[in-house]
Copies of this chain bind each other. A is one copy, B any other.
Amino acid sequence: MQSRTTPPSGRPCRPAARTGRPRSAAADEAILEATRAALVDLGWSKLTMGDVATRAGVAKTTLYRRWAGKNELVVDAVAVLFDELELPDRGSLARDIEGVVLQFAAILERPETKTALMAVVAESTRDAPLRERIRTSIVERQKRLVLEGRARAERRGELPVPADAVAAARVADLIFDVAAGTVVHRTLVSAEPVDAEWVRHFTLLLLGGLSAASGDA
């Protein structure tokens, strides 16, 4: 259950098909676009390969020539949405956190992301290659923001420099789990909006801990 190619990643990992008609590049984007549209219209569980093919004006075989199945296709289709995440310098760690959390939440609240993300993660609990694909296509792409933000905060003197690389990695992973997990839970499980006020409180908690978050409004 591994895709034969990784079309949007650009790497030509297909085993050197020198001759013959090359694959349509336009089809790839049409398929991913159709996949996102189908996610919006139907949600994960009602999305079918045949329907995506029809929407993309493509034969089913063309889909299977490029992706191993629904899981892989959907991961690629939503992965590009996370590319727009950025971390402009807003002047302080608190402002940086607020900014990126709001951006992240905005992506999660899109209907195609909302329905797809948890589903593929659920599938990935039994499918290691899929888990790896999710990690490289989506998760790691976000984690670099944590590293970047932390480095910036250290330069500002807002956070202490970690004792060693291991400790640094451990803290970064923790922060990433806390940040991403909390926003996902708020959005998908609690089904509550991630608005400016909530983000402010969350940032307070992140920076100062429970007593800080409990203090005032």
Contacts and interface: CB of A to CB of B under 8 A. Distances in A.
Nearest to A159: B214
Tell me how many chains of this kind the complex includes. Answer: 4
Interface in A141-190: 159-160, 162-163, 167, 170-171, 173-178, 180-186, 188-190
A43 B125 CA distance: 8
Contacts of A89: none
Given A178-B205, A180-B185, 19 more contacts: A43-B126, A44-B126, A45-B126, A93-B210, A114-B125, A115-B122, A115-B125, A117-B122, A121-B122, A134-B189, A139-B189, A171-B213, A177-B189, A178-B178, A178-B181, A181-B185, A184-B185, A208-B208, A209-B212
Tell me if A's interface is mostly helix, strand, loop or mixed: helix
Contact of A209 (B124, B134, B207): B207
A160 B211 contact: yes
Contacts of A209: 205-209, 212
A201 interface: yes
Interface of A: 43-45, 93, 114-119, 121-126, 131, 134, 139, 159-160, 162-163, 167, 170-171, 173-178, 180-186, 188-192, 198, 201-202, 205-217
A210 B34 CA distance: 42
Contacts of A123: 44-45, 119
Contacts of A93: 210
A213 B170 CA distance: 10
Contacts of A181: 178, 181-186, 189
Q: Most chain-B Cβ atoms within 10 A of its Cβ — which of A183, A192, A207, A213?
A: A213
